[in-house]
Structure 1
Amino acid sequence: MKTGSRPPLIVHLGPHRTASTSAQRAIRAYLADGGADDLAFVGPGALRPALPWTMRALAAAPGLWRLATPALLAMTAPAARTVVTSRRTRRVISEECLLGAMTECLLSPRGIYPDAARRLRALKRMIGRREAKLVLTVRAYDDWFVSLYSWSLLHRKLPPAPALARAWAGRARGWPDLVREIEAVFGSCEIIEFGSLKRDPGAIVRALIGEAIDIRHAGASLSAAGLAEVEARRRQGERVGIGDLGEIRSRRRNEAPLDPFDEETRARLRERYARDLALIGVTAPAYSGRATST
């Protein structure tokens, strides 16, 4: 690196959930304990509050994309702007919504992160000539659908899981499409396979800050019965808040996760995932059993 040049910005994208939440918490705790005074870190707590209303506005008036996307990150994530312009030695952003709202990945007829190419170009414009390292998490399609659906159902009304799962399984976009879009804008990215984090939970932290930190896993998503309870209580007009969700999750923690795929569809998605991992140069994990919702 040339003397006086700005060090690279590190951006973590792709499916998050439990493993990434654990990594984000570990990094924050590490910094709070004085682990590094040369690191600026921004995660969902700072970035996400403005995204829901921004996405609703763009959904209501799709024509705004033409004007809004070039400045999307500056509008919705001022904390990200602060990190990019920071003079600190290392700067890390970890937020999957930079590629698109999670419900878009469920409901768009195109498939995962349908507007990623546009958002990546916006990210590149915001970063400017600064060198950037992108870290992308990829996940088995059936596992990711269950996680997305479980999270999204807590925030909005969705079609029944089995029907949406059947439609979603046939959508065209996959991880190779996203990797090609990243490479077209940024040249390359480091890929972390989500299933491998069970064996090596610290992989995300090492990729982001180059440090080995003990990871404490976050809790699992709501079980299928827990999600059904939330829906039933809301149909009765009851408000189910964050505290209620925590109580339901704790009470039903040993119950089975949501499982909307039949055996044939699940097998087809797993085969596709293995092929797609080979296309992007990642070793396919050995999967067994049903999808998980963490």
Structure 2
Amino acid sequence: MAMGVKLPVMTRPVHIHAGAHRTGTSSFQLCLAENAPVLDRHGIDAVYPGRDGVPGGRLRLNLPRPRHGAKRVPEFAEEVRAHLARLSPGLDRGLVISEENIPGPMRHFYQGRFYPASAMRLAALAQAVGRPRHVVLVLRPYDALYVSAYRKRAEDNLVPPFADLVPKFMGMDRGWPELVVEFRDILRPEQLTVIDFARRGSSVALLRRLVPEVAGEDLKEPEQVVNLSATDAGLAHLQARFRAGEVLDRKVWQVVIAEFRSDTTVSGFAEFSDVDQDLLRARYARDLARIATLEGVELI
């Protein structure tokens, strides 16, 4: 689209599932694919990426990164508007957006930064879609989040030893409450639901919560399991190959993960000490208590 040609801000109902990372997002997106006919009957389109082979995944949200200044937010917003209009051109239809990278990628955790570009990214999304009807954000405890994020990145990247990153994780610059406030104040959704991962429930339950219009429908829970985590043995093998200078494409490292799936020996590839784990869990409990006091936020 030519620069300077602006699309109107969306006025149709928009429901946003914003992850977060490592909370079953791929399974939820598979649920959207399975129940697309039901959503369609209600005049709702669902858009999501296809990172784990989820059918129909075509969403590619290009949002600001830390290096981009706030002045470029309108440029990104315009691109997002155009992209969503191509994926779902019927402006009289509702829209479900599911994307865990809305606040940003996980790799900044390694620098002790908790989604450093989230404010710019949310501002661009807000300018693109207008005021969402409902936003759902699922939160994971910090210790499990950081371990899972590290293990996920280790599948296809050479990573430093986990112990070297522990000081960054323990000294993280901020956490979930600050991010939740940004979602509330920048996106200004009519309804903002924050869910503790332990209370997430099934993907069907999450869909019914996000889109009340389909709550009474006979929805299908996905049978396929996606985004299975690699074992310690599989990750150690992959890291040895990365250290040796190999570059593995997605198909290759997925085969490796499958080959080592039966070796469930726990070698301590990524784990916190008991003391650090307790500290992170205590911080998460305090932060949930803070979120519970936030006006305009429903915490489950």
| Shorter-normalised TM range | 0.7 to 0.9
Q: 1:76 to 1:122 in 2, by over 3 A?
A: closer
- Asked if 1:177 corresponds to 2:178, the answer is yes
CA distance in 1, matches of 2:88, 2:19: 19
- Asked if 1:267 corresponds to 2:269, the answer is no
- 1:1-294 map, 5 Å: 6-17=11-22, 19-31=24-36, 36-37=40-41, 38-45=43-50, 46-48=58-60, 51=62, 62=67, 64-75=68-79, 78-82=82-86, 86-104=90-108, 106-109=109-112, 111-128=113-130, 130-185=131-186, 186=188, 188-197=191-200, 199-210=201-212, 211=214, 212-216=219-223, 217-254=225-262, 255=264, 256=266, 258-281=269-292, 282=299
CA RMSD of aligned residues (A): 2.8
CA distance in 1, matches of 2:197, 2:276: 20
Deviation at 1:253, TM superposition (A): 2.2
- Matched residue SS, 1:96: coil
CA distance in 2, matches of 1:170, 1:117: 21
Give structure 2 stretches of 5+ with no counterpart: 1-9, 51-57, 293-298
Deviation at 1:227, TM superposition (A): 1.5
CA distance in 2, matches of 1:166, 1:213: 43
- Is residue 74–residue 127 contact of structure 2 (8 Å, CA) maintained in 1? yes
CA distance in 2, matches of 1:213, 1:115: 35
User: For each residue in 1:155-179, what CA deviation from the matched residue of structure 2 results, as whole angstroms up to 9, or x when unmatched?
Assistant: 4443321221232122131111111
CA distance in 2, matches of 1:21, 1:90: 21
Question: Which amino acid in 2 is paired with 1:232?
Answer: A
Q: 1:44 to 1:28 in 2, by over 3 A?
A: same
Deviation at 1:146, TM superposition (A): 1.6
Q: Provide the aligned length of Structure 1 versus Structure 2.
A: 266
Question: Which amino acid in 2 is paired with 1:214?
Answer: E
- Matched residue SS, 1:134: strand
- Matched residue SS, 2:229: coil
> 2:5 — aligned with what?
none
User: For each residue in 1:2-26, what CA deviation from the matched residue of structure 2 results, as whole angstroms up to 9, or x when unmatched?
Assistant: xxx9442011113234622111112
Question: Which amino acid in 2 is paired with 1:99?
Answer: P
- Matched residue SS, 1:41: strand
- Matched residue SS, 1:171: coil
- Matched residue SS, 2:125: helix
Larger helix share, 1 or 2:
1
CA distance in 1, matches of 2:47, 2:94: 11
> 2:3 — aligned with what?
none
CA distance in 2, matches of 1:65, 1:127: 21
Deviation at 1:278, TM superposition (A): 1.7
Question: Which amino acid in 2 is paired with 1:158?
Answer: V
Deviation at 1:260, TM superposition (A): 2.5
- Matched residue SS, 1:239: coil
- Is residue 43–residue 94 contact of structure 1 (8 Å, CA) maintained in 2? yes
- Is residue 42–residue 93 contact of structure 1 (8 Å, CA) maintained in 2? yes
TM-score (norm 2): 0.77
